[in-house]
Chains A and B, each alone.
Chain A
């Protein structure tokens, strides 16, 4: 039975004290993301490798033809599978859902599927009979905090990168047949992605709670730092807000809030957990920050997509062989 990670008291007070002095252990500022690296598979479409600091997530998009649900004949299927294996961290048990995992998969589900990032109606082939089932498998390879942020980026980028094989329908009535053209035969078709949701997690640290814990420790600086905070920013001093927490920070935080936003300045989803109260001002500033991050990340995804396309599109064949028009 794997045991949960429990940071020691020394670690706890050290991190919190540093935060009261506005220092993070990896020397980032409070609203700075870790180094983000996105790379696509050179052979397959829809395979994305996202590295966020030491967190590593691979998303793989696949599509097959199935029958749509009876109550939704015009909609295709879109499934996101976010099973966390012990590959990410030994604390995750194989074959059993932990509470963390549930939260992560719910947030990703809400961020991407329920925000309508993928137009499922475009996946319909013959209404009520045949449709595409798009599947996103998220593999968590390394866990250093921010799993949902990385997973969200990976799935979003994967959907943009994925190409499904082109199809044609021949015949009429009950004798209709679908011909699937292999990727080698016809230029494959991208998915109808309506917007690119990016999830940003803010971690809250109750500094007052922290300083009372630290107060028991020797050293003059504690009291001074505490005093300074109270004078300078009366309201803000009670909580420190961190963007993109590492695993250590994630384990020590008192509360969190995940905000999913896109470049259209739309908030797709907000989820708050933990026992820290968040007032309107904080909510707004976090949303604003999330939109900024979303813009930055989307820009990076698009840059990488362009690079990938340039690499694949040798001799401009992909453009010339395409049947569809630019809209």
Chain B
């Protein structure tokens, strides 16, 4: 797209991310999401291939999977959705991205080291344990050739130990790998459907 003169960059494409809430007007929460998505997505897009243009990404939240105090599910889902949208739009990418949410909660005990783990929960699941949540982690990995390449985002809120974070990284790596494969399947299917006309 054509870029605003003010935002034009001579050697790379300008990246704009707009996050729109499902209810109400844009607030700091959306700004936060915009910022995080930008940090994850920007290093992955080959921006230098389209200098002096605008790549605009609009993330519209239709139904938030988070409870009022959280935004981890929305963030990880937004990152995955943004990545899929970029693929569909044919924007050149360096590698693939996938994100996941991990939640630690106490199951009746006050000892935080015995906390239980919930991965990518639904809203109903979240509402049940909302009061027992100890820490929330949103993690995004970059994958190259189906292998974990580097950590792109590690957003943690709450109280947690170092071991827990490291454990989180390991779990997230597995989940991201799996998510990536699911997305790959979806994309393959989509491409197959779109290029059906070639076979005829």
- Which A positions have Cβ atoms within 8 angstroms of B? 1-3, 41, 43-44, 47, 58, 60, 62, 81, 83, 85-87, 90, 94-95, 135, 137, 139, 141
Judge if B189 is at the interface, Cβ distance under 8 Å.
Answer: no
Give, as a whole number of angstroms, the nearest-CB distance from B114 to chain A. 29
Knowing A135-B23, A137-B22, A137-B24, the reply to whether A2 touches B60 (Cβ < 8 A) is no
12 A-B residue pairings within 8 Å (CB atoms): A1-B2, A1-B4, A41-B63, A62-B23, A81-B25, A83-B25, A85-B18, A87-B60, A135-B23, A139-B60, A139-B62, A141-B60
Contact present for A60 and B22 (CB under 8 Å): yes
Considering only residues 1-53 of chain B, those with a C-beta below 8 Å from chain A are 1-2, 4-5, 16, 18, 20-26
Of all chain A residues, which has the CB nearest B57? A86
4 more contacts with CB within 8 A, not counting A60-B62, A135-B23, A137-B22, are A44-B63, A60-B23, A87-B60, A139-B22
Judge if B159 is at the interface, Cβ distance under 8 Å.
Answer: no
Chain B residues within an 8 Å CB radius of A58? 62
- Total A-B contacts with CB atoms under 8 angstroms apart: 47
User: In the docked arrangement, what's the CA distance between A141 and B22, Å?
Assistant: 12
User: In the docked arrangement, what's the CA distance between A237 and B186, Å?
Assistant: 51
Chain B residues within an 8 Å CB radius of A60? 22-23, 62
Contact present for A135 and B24 (CB under 8 Å): yes
Contact present for B25 and A90 (CB under 8 Å): no
Of all chain B residues, which has the CB nearest A44? B63
Contact present for B20 and A87 (CB under 8 Å): yes
Number of interface residues of B (CB under 8 A): 18
**10 nearest A-B residue pairs (beta carbon):** A87-B58, A94-B18, A62-B23, A1-B4, A87-B60, A86-B58, A85-B20, A137-B23, A85-B58, A139-B60
User: In the docked arrangement, what's the CA distance between A94 and B26, Å?
Assistant: 11
Chain A residues within an 8 Å CB radius of B60? 85, 87, 139, 141
Judge if B56 is at the interface, Cβ distance under 8 Å.
Answer: yes
Give, as a whole number of angstroms, the nearest-CB distance from A73 to chain B. 25
Contact present for A90 and B56 (CB under 8 Å): yes
Chain A residues within an 8 Å CB radius of B62? 47, 58, 60, 139
Chain A residues within an 8 Å CB radius of B25? 81, 83
User: In the docked arrangement, what's the CA distance between A198 and B7, Å?
Assistant: 42
User: In the docked arrangement, what's the CA distance between A303 and B18, Å?
Assistant: 36
Knowing A85-B18, A139-B60, the reply to whether A90 touches B1 (Cβ < 8 A) is yes
User: In the docked arrangement, what's the CA distance between A43 and B127, Å?
Assistant: 14
When each residue 161-190 of chain B gets 1 if its CB lies under 8 Å from chain A and 0 otherwise, what string results?
A: 000000000000000000000000000000
Give, as a whole number of angstroms, the nearest-CB distance from A155 to chain B. 14
Contact present for B56 and A86 (CB under 8 Å): yes
Give, as a whole number of angstroms, the nearest-CB distance from A65 to chain B. 15
Chain B residues within an 8 Å CB radius of A86? 18, 56, 58
Chain A residues within an 8 Å CB radius of B23? 60, 62, 135, 137
Give, as a whole number of angstroms, the nearest-CB distance from B111 to chain A. 31
User: In the docked arrangement, what's the CA distance between A87 and B62, Å?
Assistant: 12
Give, as a whole number of angstroms, the nearest-CB distance from B25 to chain A. 7
Contact present for B2 and A3 (CB under 8 Å): yes
Contact present for A2 and B2 (CB under 8 Å): yes
